[in-house]
Amino acid sequence: MKTTPDILLINSYAPRQRVVSDAALENSLVILRTYLEYKGIHAEIVDDQRVTALEKGVPQWCLRLLKTMTRLLMKFYRVKPLAAGMLVAAWPLQAYALQCRREYLRNRRRQIAADVQARQIPIVGLKLWYGEAYTWGRELAAEIRQYSPETIIIAGGPQVKVYGDIVLSHTDFDLAIMGPGEEILEKLITLRRQTPSKSIFLQQVHAQWGGPLLKTGGFAGDHTEVVRGLAAQTIPNYYAADLDGKILFHTIVDGVGCSWNNCNFCSHTRCTVPFTPRPVEDIITEIKAMLQRGISFFRFSSSETPMVHGREIAEAILTHGLNIRFSMFVRAANVSAETLATYRLLIQAGLRAVFMGGETGHDGVNREIMNKGIERKDIINTIVTIRLASDAVRLPCRVGLSLIYPCPLPPGISMEEVFQANVTLIDEALPDTVIVNPPGPFPETNWYKDAAKFGFKFSEGAATFTQRFMEYEYSIYKPVEFWDDLGSSLNDMESKTVLKETGKLRAYVASLGIPTDISDEYLMMTEAIGLQSKLDLVRFKQKTLLDIISGSTDYTREITASINAASRRLARTYTR
CA torsion sign, 405 to 407 to 409 to 414?
positive
pLDDT of residue 75: 78
Contacts of 507 (CB under 8 A, 6+ apart): none
Q: In this structure, are residues 509 and 434 in contact, taking their beta carbons and an 8 Å threshold?
A: yes
23 and 138 share one domain: yes
Assign 545 to helix, strand or coil.
helix
305 and 169 share one domain: no
Nearest partner of 323 among 24, 521, 569, judged by Cα: 569
Report the C-alpha gap between 18 and 555 in whole angstroms: 14
Report whether the peptide linkage leading into residue 406 is cis, meaning its omega lies within 30 degrees of zero.
yes
Measured CA angle at 142 (ends 136, 143), to 5 deg: 90
Q: In this structure, are residues 444 and 267 in contact, taking their beta carbons and an 8 Å threshold?
A: yes
Assign 323 to helix, strand or coil.
coil
335 and 300 share one domain: yes
Helix (H) or strand (E) holding 497: helix 495-511
Examine residue 61 and state whether it is found in any structural domain, yes or no. Answer: yes
Contacts of 408 (CB under 8 A, 6+ apart): 365, 369, 439, 447, 454, 455, 456, 490, 491
Residue 141's Cβ-side half-sphere holds a number of Cα atoms within 13 Å equal to: 27
105 and 242 share one domain: no
Using alpha carbons only, how large is the chain's radius of gyration in Å?
23
Examine residue 477 and state whether it is found in any structural domain, yes or no. Answer: no
DSSP state of 1: -
CA torsion sign, 312 to 317 to 318 to 323?
negative
Residue 507's Cβ-side half-sphere holds a number of Cα atoms within 13 Å equal to: 7
Examine residue 508 and state whether it is found in any structural domain, yes or no. Answer: no
Q: In this structure, are residues 31 and 236 in contact, taking their beta carbons and an 8 Å threshold?
A: yes
Nearest partner of 330 among 275, 286, 291, judged by Cα: 275
Nearest partner of 16 among 542, 550, 571, judged by Cα: 550
Across the strands, what pairs with 466?
none
351 and 420 share one domain: yes
290 and 171 share one domain: no
Q: In what order do the strands lie in the sheet with 456-458?
A: 456-458, 488-490, 493-494
For residue 558, the Cα-to-chain-centroid distance in whole angstroms is 22
Assign 335 to helix, strand or coil.
coil
Examine residue 484 and state whether it is found in any structural domain, yes or no. Answer: no
547 and 431 share one domain: no
Examine residue 497 and state whether it is found in any structural domain, yes or no. Answer: no
CB count in 10 Å sphere of residue 245:
18
Number of domains composing the chain? 2
193 and 301 share one domain: no
List of the chain residues with pLDDT < 70: 1, 77-80, 83, 475-479
> 95: burial class by Cβ within 10 Å (0-12, 13-18, 19+)?
exposed
139 and 286 share one domain: no
Give the structural domain span for 270: 224-441+517-528
Across the strands, what pairs with 141?
none
Report the C-alpha gap between 179 and 521 in whole angstroms: 23
160 and 248 share one domain: no
Give the CATH number of the domain where residue 236 resides.
Answer: 3.80.30.20
Q: How, if at all, do strands 175-178 and 152-156 pair?
A: parallel
pLDDT of residue 19: 76
12 and 132 share one domain: yes
Examine residue 465 and state whether it is found in any structural domain, yes or no. Answer: no
150 and 258 share one domain: no
pLDDT of residue 475: 67
Examine residue 332 and state whether it is found in any structural domain, yes or no. Answer: yes
pLDDT of residue 1: 52
Helix (H) or strand (E) holding 188: helix 182-194
Nearest partner of 166 among 47, 267, 17, judged by Cα: 267
* pTM, to two decimals: 0.94
Examine residue 304 and state whether it is found in any structural domain, yes or no. Answer: yes
CB count in 10 Å sphere of residue 281:
11
Q: At what angle do helices 534-550 and 60-75 cross, to 10 degrees?
A: 130
Q: What are phi and psi of 435, to 5 degrees?
A: -110, 120
Report how far apart, in Å, the C-alpha atoms of 379 and of each of 65, 149, 376, 522 are: 44, 53, 5, 22
